[in-house]
């Protein structure tokens, strides 16, 4: 399909759409935001007024069936990603959905099946594939600056947010019925998707997930080992209950000629270490962090280029995440 002008409708105009994504739909050329939906109509109306959006709805079906809307961005929690995406694609509208793609790999497969059946494109908001620092890492690797990539190590250790200390104030990220798993799905998904972008699909993965602190039902500590089709092997450690001051956010990639170090979420410098010395690369992100990816989506819908983050690539990440935690959830449900 080819769209000359992309008229977006947003389902779920919550926090992520305030700055990270929402404004970009009006900044990208040949794109505009024409409608938003939230189940709380008053909040949908408020968002529309503040962001200059012509129409708002409290019902997703009304937005999906609005004839002016010809593409849909789904920014709800993961439990409704599949159902809304499928409804939009069956209505003949391309979909851009938040990450993780869905609660589980089975839902991802169903979304992909409907995308293929309807011919509607499906994109997922793994925007690190388009950010300057992460593109610099890819450039350095592709140009052989660290030689042949050998192994990657991921470490993400975070302290407990105040809200998670009280079961009544815990966020949906630790409710498996909504999120699919815990913070590992929410944050680890970005990391595995980016590594897929660098090295291609993971072809072998093993993991161990446990709950150490007993604050909620989902896993809070995870380790994993994985192998990519290109031969690179990796290890990872994720813990979301460490002490303040013990937090860490680092990815290290080791090659035959050097090492790259960078952060997944702090958006700091990329550090290149070789026998000749150490070099830092700085970069500046767009004001709206999803701008570059949304621009790619629009250009793809106009058949001008190909988007780097699709349902096909995102589903691979969901498979990896599920493989790592599956034994934990088998025990949890038996």
Predicted confidence at residue 40, as pLDDT, reads 97
Provide, rounded to the nearest whole percent, the portion of the chain with pLDDT above 90: 98
Predicted confidence at residue 1, as pLDDT, reads 80
| Residue 2 pLDDT > 80 | yes
Are 218 and 262 members of one domain?
yes
Domain annotation covers residue 153: yes
Are 59 and 119 members of one domain?
yes
Domain annotation covers residue 162: yes
Outline where DSSP puts E strands in the chain: 6-11, 31-37, 55-57, 71-74, 95-97, 122-124, 149-159, 202-210, 221-228, 233-242, 248-255, 259-262, 270-274, 277-281
Domain annotation covers residue 225: yes
Are 59 and 136 members of one domain?
no
The total of other beta-carbon atoms located within 10 Å of residue 170's CB is: 17
Instruction: Read off the pLDDT of residues 22-34 as tens digits, 9 standing for 90 and up.
Output: 999 999 999 999 9
Q: What average pLDDT does the segment 8-35 reach?
A: 97
Residue with tokens 């069936």: 65
Question: 89: buried, middle or exposed (CB in 10 Å: 19+, 13-18, 0-12)?
Answer: buried
102 phi and psi angles, rounded to 5 deg:
-160, -175
Q: What average pLDDT does the segment 298-320 reach?
A: 98
Are 251 and 273 members of one domain?
yes
Predicted confidence at residue 320, as pLDDT, reads 98
Instruction: Read off the pLDDT of residues 139-190 as tens digits, 9 standing for 90 and up.
Output: 999 999 999 999 999 999 999 999 999 999 999 999 999 999 999 999 999 9
How many structural domains is the chain composed of? 2
Are 66 and 192 members of one domain?
no
Are 104 and 195 members of one domain?
no
Predicted confidence at residue 268, as pLDDT, reads 94
Domain boundary among 106, 125, 144: 125
Domain boundary among 125, 155, 187: 125
Domain annotation covers residue 262: yes
Q: Cβ(88)–Cβ(123) under 8 Å?
A: no
Are 326 and 180 members of one domain?
yes
| Residue 205 pLDDT > 80 | yes
| Residue 19 pLDDT > 90 | yes
CA distance 38 to 262: 36
CA distance 73 to 11: 6
Predicted confidence at residue 116, as pLDDT, reads 98
Are 203 and 246 members of one domain?
yes
Domain annotation covers residue 273: yes
Domain annotation covers residue 160: yes
Q: Cβ(63)–Cβ(35) under 8 Å?
A: yes
Instruction: Read off the pLDDT of residues 44-91 as tens digits, 9 standing for 90 and up.
Output: 999 999 999 999 999 999 999 999 999 999 999 999 999 999 999 999
Are 200 and 144 members of one domain?
yes
Domain boundary among 125, 153, 174: 125
Q: What average pLDDT does the segment 287-300 reach?
A: 98
Predicted confidence at residue 333, as pLDDT, reads 81
What six digits make up the tokens of 308?
């780097």
- CATH number, position 67: 3.40.50.720
Provide, rounded to the nearest whole percent, the portion of the chain with pLDDT above 70: 100
Are 54 and 103 members of one domain?
yes
Instruction: Read off the pLDDT of residues 96-139 as tens digits, 9 standing for 90 and up.
Output: 999 999 999 999 999 999 999 999 999 999 999 999 999 999 99
Domain range for 180 is 132-284+318-332
Are 105 and 222 members of one domain?
no
Q: What average pLDDT does the segment 33-41 reach?
A: 97
DSSP 262-299: E-SSS---EEEEETTEEEEE-----SSTTHHHHHHHHH
Chain-centroid distance of CA 72 in Å reads 17
User: Which residues on neighbouring strands pair with residue 262, listed in sequence order?
Assistant: 251
Question: 309: buried, middle or exposed (CB in 10 Å: 19+, 13-18, 0-12)?
Answer: buried
> How many residues appear in the chain?
334
Are 152 and 250 members of one domain?
yes
Instruction: Read off the pLDDT of residues 220-263 as tens digits, 9 standing for 90 and up.
Output: 999 999 999 999 999 999 999 999 999 999 999 999 999 999 99
- CATH number, position 200: 3.30.360.10
Predicted confidence at residue 334, as pLDDT, reads 75
Domain annotation covers residue 236: yes
Residue with tokens 């594939």: 129
| Residue 306 pLDDT > 90 | yes
Secondary structure tally for the chain: helices H, strands E: 11, 14
Domain annotation covers residue 40: yes
Chain-centroid distance of CA 138 in Å reads 18
Q: Cβ(185)–Cβ(179) under 8 Å?
A: yes
């Amino acid at each position: 399909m080819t769209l000359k002008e992309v008229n977006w409708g947003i389902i779920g105009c919550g926090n992520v759409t305030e700055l990270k994504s929402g404004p970009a739909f009006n900044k990208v050329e040949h794109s505009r935001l024409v409608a938003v939906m939230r189940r709380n109509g008053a909040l949908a109306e408020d968002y529309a007024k503040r962001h200059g959006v012509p129409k708002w709805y409290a019902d997703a079906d009304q937005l999906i069936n609005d004839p002016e809307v010809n593409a849909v961005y789904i920014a709800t929690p993961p439990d409704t990603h599949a159902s809304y995406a499928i409804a939009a694609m069956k209505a003949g509208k391309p979909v851009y959905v938040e990450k993780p793609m869905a609660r589980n790999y089975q839902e991802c497969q169903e979304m992909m099946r409907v995308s293929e059946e309807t011919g509607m494109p499906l994109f997922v908001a793994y925007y690190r594939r388009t950010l300057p620092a992460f593109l610099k890492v890819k450039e350095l690797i592709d140009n052989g600056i660290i030689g042949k990539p050998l192994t990657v190590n991921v470490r993400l250790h975070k302290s407990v947010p105040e809200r998670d200390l009280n079961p009544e104030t815990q966020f949906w990220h630790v409710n498996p019925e909504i999120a699919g798993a815990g913070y590992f799905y929410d944050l680890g998904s970005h990391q595995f998707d980016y590594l897929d972008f660098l090295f291609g699909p993971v072809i072998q993965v093993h993991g161990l997930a446990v709950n150490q602190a007993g604050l909620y039902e989902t896993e809070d500590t995870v380790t994993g080992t994985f192998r990519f089709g290109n031969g690179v092997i990796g290890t990872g450690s994720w813990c979301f209950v460490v002490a303040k001051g013990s937090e860490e956010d680092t990815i290290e990639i080791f090659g035959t000629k050097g090492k790259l170090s960078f952060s997944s979420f702090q958006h700091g410098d990329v550090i290149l270490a070789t026998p000749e010395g150490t070099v830092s690369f700085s970069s500046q992100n767009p004001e709206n962090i999803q701008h570059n990816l949304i621009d790619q989506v629009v250009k793809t819908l106009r058949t001008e280029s190909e988007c780097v983050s699709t349902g096909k690539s995102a589903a691979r990440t969901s498979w990896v995440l599920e493989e790592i935690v599956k034994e934990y959830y088998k025990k949890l449900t038996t």
